[in-house]
Chains A and B, each alone.
Chain A
Amino acid sequence: MSPKRIVLRFDATIADQPIIYRLVSDFGLVVNIIKANVNPQKEGTMVMEITGEKNKQGLEYLRGQGVQVHTLTENIIRNEEQCTSCGACTAICPSGALYLKRPSMEVHFDSDQCVVCHLCTKICPVRAMEAHF
């Protein structure tokens, strides 16, 4: 069975729970965490691959715990011509994919770090961040 790529988003109340352990122990899933980020407010995002017969039940369990589960079919890209390097996205991006280089204060985008949370696509004042399917 081929692995399924998913994005999880959860808030502070779930950050301390052993949800990944339960996926493995209760549903027998093979879990490969690709990226994970829990920010100081303990809101977290995680991108992972899961393989196993009971992946549907596993995802149901996560949703039951209040975790938002999305299939990773999108890519976020930055339209470099449009980006003004204002920086408005950099303290918002939860994974550090968008960051400022100092001292030039130029904004850089490292798509490998992106957890496709879509925040930047909405808050970028010039809509330079685009979701592609």
Chain B
Amino acid sequence: MAIEKSYAEINAKIKEGKAVVVTAEELISMVDEKGVKKATEEVDVVTTGTFAPMCSSGVFLNLGHTTPKMKMHQVWLNNVPAYGGIAAVDAYLGATALPDNDPLNNNYPGEFKYGGGHVIEDLVARKPVRFRATGYGTDCYPRREIETNITLDEINEAILFNPRNAYQSYNCGVNLTSRTVYTYLGMLKPNLGNAHYSTSGQLSPLLKDPNFNTIGVGTRIFLGGGTGYVVWNGTQHFPEFLQTDSDGEQKGPAGGTLSVLGDLKQMKPEWLIGTSYLGYGASLSVGIGIPIPMLNEEVCRNAAIKDKDLYAPVIDYGEAYPNAKPGYLKLVSFAELKSGKIIVNGKEVPTAPLSSYPKAKQIAAQLKDWVAKGEFILGEPSQLLPSSDAGLKGKPLKG
């Protein structure tokens, strides 16, 4: 008989401290050894992890009311502007925001040493942050300016809300032109000098649930060292398989993304790190881990997919990507990418990751520990995210 487990059954075991929890890496060897059926029976939860720059990140802040009260129209934290068009004392600080006086790329390639992501890291590290706001004055909110220091614990609320994180698979960037390009995938040397990729492959959350059989609205996750939630599909959530070959075999899920949310006050600075990309901009590296309940054999089989069966498209960031030319040079597996070299256009190209595999491993291990100890109960999604069947496609912007 086919194995079917419910969230309630698995959660009951977690609460008793009896759940069997393994990381996605451990599941791979288990399935190799015992087969899918046995592994599905034995394992209750599989944990995943990823740690990489995720630009679409930010934090909602409720700063508290001043005396007299003020409607904060323009807001800066450590000189980085936040969006104040929400309510009187609320603001949203985006990870890629830059200080008003940043030279940007005028000194090409710009250094972008400090931006919104760095402010978020400083807040989480409990460092005082210089807060400045101006208002235009109203009858109920007469005050017009404030400048003070704030710390994370002194303000009312800080909610990390990232509209697009944890990309399912991501491009492997190369450069076919004869000049160096500076991209969000790092510095790409001319004439196929290097290839950069950015997911943790066989540990990466959305690669391990390619059809969204378990991940949905309400999935409880490891977010920045605290507890967070999947609250919707991410923006630009266009899940599809990279290629269906002549035998009808699907290759490499890609394109899914998550919208995630959590209480910044619970999070830790080692899992939310402000990052700068030379010639590109500032961002935030985010640690995310997702538990996958072993509901049935299909879920287990997917969670045990290996690096050699997961793919990334190789894309030219010198010419094709900036000019929105569709297509890719070839598909490469994460096993090839991790080996240190791939062959592109007949040339051997050294590879390097931008996402930290050691940190992804730590996240999967931490989450495993929480679930095994009964400290982390699975959130049953009230609605699963759209899968490749939904046929979602990105629309270009005309103009």
On A, residues with C-beta under 8 Å from B are 39-41, 84-92, 100, 102-106, 119, 122-123, 125-127
Contact = CB atoms under 8 A, between A and B. Distances in A.
Interface string B326-352: 000000000000111000000000111
Interface string B347-368: 0001111111111000000000
Contacts of B352: 87-92, 100
A88 B276 contact: no
B113 A127 contact: yes
A104 B356 CA distance: 10
Contacts of A106: 358
A2 B273 CA distance: 45
Interface of chain A: mostly helix, strand, loop or mixed: loop
27 contacts: A41-B190, A84-B285, A84-B359, A85-B357, A86-B51, A86-B353, A86-B355, A87-B352, A87-B354, A87-B356, A88-B196, A88-B353, A91-B193, A91-B351, A91-B352, A100-B340, A102-B340, A105-B356, A105-B358, A106-B358, A122-B278, A123-B186, A123-B278, A125-B186, A125-B276, A126-B276, A127-B113
A122 B180 CA distance: 14
Contacts of B274: 126
Contacts of B358: 85, 104-106
Contact of B356 (A86, A119, A127): A86
Contacts of B283: 125
Contact of A91 (B111, B190, B350): B350
Nearest to B352: A91
A122 B355 CA distance: 18
B40 interface: no
Contacts of A104: 357-358
A84 B276 contact: no
Contacts of A122: 111, 278
Nearest to A82: B273
Contacts of A102: 338-340
B191 interface: yes
A88 B354 contact: yes
Contact of B194 (A84, A85, A92, A103): A92
Given A84-B51, A87-B354, A92-B194, A125 B285 contact: yes
Contacts of B167: none
Contact of B353 (A87, A92, A103, A126): A87
Contacts of B357: 85, 87, 104-105
B183 to A, nearest CB: 11
A84 B273 contact: yes
A127 B121 CA distance: 14
Given A88-B353, A122-B111, 15 more contacts: A40-B193, A41-B193, A85-B357, A86-B285, A86-B354, A91-B352, A100-B340, A102-B338, A105-B353, A122-B278, A125-B53, A125-B354, A126-B274, A126-B275, A126-B285
Interface centre among A88, A103, A122, A123 (most CB of B within 10 A): A88
Contacts of A41: 189-191, 193
B376 interface: no
A100 B194 CA distance: 14
Top 3 A-B pairs, shortest CB-CB distance: A105-B357, A91-B352, A91-B194
Contact of A105 (B186, B189, B195, B338): B338
Interface centre among B51, B193, B283, B357 (most CB of A within 10 A): B357
Contacts of A92: 186-187, 189, 194, 352
Contacts of A103: 338
Contacts of A39: 193
B12 to A, nearest CB: 36
Interface in B175-204: 186-187, 189-191, 193-196
B229 interface: no
B60 interface: no
Contacts of A40: 193
A131 to B, nearest CB: 14
Given A102-B338, A122-B278, A125-B275, A88 B285 contact: no
Nearest to B276: A125
Nearest to B360: A105
Contact of A127 (B51, B276, B285): B276
